[in-house]
Amino acid sequence: MQNAPRFKPEYIPILIMVIMTLVLLLTLFSGLASIKDIMTNILVIILLGFLTVDVKNHSLESESLRPAYKYIVMIILFSLLSLF
């Protein structure tokens, strides 16, 4: 049991990011994507990338507000996208 690889928590957002990228590429190549769908998928992929880096570096456990700013910006971008 000592040599068994440990499950790392950053694998979950990476897996979801790969799935979202595949969905984005399939909709682009099939011609079924609108601009809003493309922008939403890209924002989700960026958000998952931020989350992966923060989980890997343990930034979410710190007391500072620096990691929170990028999530606030992403929420603002999602809300602006929902207006259109």
Instruction: Read off the pLDDT of residues 8-63 as tens digits, 9 standing for 90 and up.
Output: 777 888 899 999 999 999 999 998 888 888 888 888 888 888 888 888 887 767 77
Q: Give the structural domain span for 33.
A: 11-83
Contact between 44 and 78 (Cβ < 8 Å): no
Q: Is residue 16 part of a domain?
A: yes
What is the count of structural domains for the chain? 1
* 50 within a domain of the structure (yes/no): yes
**CA 23 – CA 26 distance, rounded (Å):** 5
CB of 54 within 8 A of CB of 67? yes
Inside any domain, residue 69: yes
Cβ-based neighbours of 44, under 8 Å, separated by 6 or more: 20
Please report whether residue 49 resides in a domain.
Answer: yes
* Residue 68 Cα to chain centre, angstroms: 15
Is residue 68 in some structural domain?
yes
The model's confidence at residue 4, banded by pLDDT at 50, 70 and 90, is: low
- Give the pLDDT of residue 25: 93
Question: Please, where are the H alpha helices in 1-84?
Answer: 11-30, 35-57, 66-83
Q: Looking at the domain assignment, is residue 6 inside a domain?
A: no
Average pLDDT over residues 1-11: 72
